Amino acid sequence: MKRLADPEIRARLKKEQKSGSPGWWNIVEAAGGWKGVVLVNAQNPDNAKYEQRSIADIAKEMKKDPADVAFDFVAQAKTGRVLAIYHMMSEQDIETALRFPWTSIGSDAGTALTPGGDDALGLPHPRSYGNFPRVIAKYVKGTHTLTLEDAIRKMTSWPATRMRIADRGLIREGMWADAVVFDFEKIRDRSTYEQPDLTPEGIDYVLVNGQIVVDHSKHTGARPGKVLYGPGYKN
């Protein structure tokens, strides 16, 4: 915080955002500039009104340099780490990656303690509630990038195989009973960057370890999930 208050350090940081700095990944450049960086948790009630907007858009309204806007948000945080979403992939990139047979589909969203809530990081993102329905609605039904069978494989048995988790990922006798029952015609994600906590449509049931956790879009309150460890885990 003290360094961000130093004008000389700010000037150097701005320069390095354009020229690069050895050993550091320029995530602003990777996002295509400040227009691809969206503030999602300012950690300050006074700045919460700017959330869900790009730093470039906020800077235009404030008539300030975008880098200074970002620096100011960080310096003014009251309760923790300021969080942003960086848009760094094009649709072409996504569709190309999805087609490779060895590609798994997952999400790095955290879990929420309550249904419809944000994850423990306080990072609201539509992937938390819409990631997998979006794959089916957009890339199977919409763009026909994947067949339904291949999409399901990439979300279930293939990740389990890669992680060497032998008793999950398939519906088979002796496996843990994890299953999702959905309506192919109706399934779709509803979560957006503006409303990231909206639950999807078209999912009838979700079973985890044999217990019904979601019953026609309603969480039953059951929490039968278990922590899964990969082959590298040691007690």
In the chain, what are the domain boundaries?
3-86, 100-219
Give 72-120 pLDDT, tens digit per residue.
Answer: 999 999 988 999 999 998 899 999 999 999 999 999 888 787 777 777 7
Give the Cβ contact number of residue 50 at 10 Å: 18
- Tokens representing 229 are 């460890």
**Contacts (Cβ under 8 Å, ≥6 apart) of 88:** 27, 30, 31, 32, 36
Q: Are 175 and 160 in contact (CB under 8 A)?
A: no
Q: How far apart are CA 6 and CA 57, in angstroms?
A: 25
pLDDT at residue 95, as a whole number: 96
Q: Are 36 and 85 in contact (CB under 8 A)?
A: no
Burial of 57 by CB count in 10 Å (0-12 exposed, 13-18 middle, 19+ buried)? middle
pLDDT at residue 56, as a whole number: 97
Check: pTM over 0.85? Answer yes or no: no
- Average the pLDDT over 131-153 and give the result: 97
Q: Is the pLDDT of residue 11 over 90?
A: yes
Query: Among 23-27, 123-127, 208-212, which is the least confidently predicted range?
Result: 123-127
pLDDT at residue 104, as a whole number: 96
Q: Where are the alpha helices (DSSP H) in the chain?
A: 7-19, 27-30, 55-62, 66-75, 91-99, 127-134, 148-155, 157-162
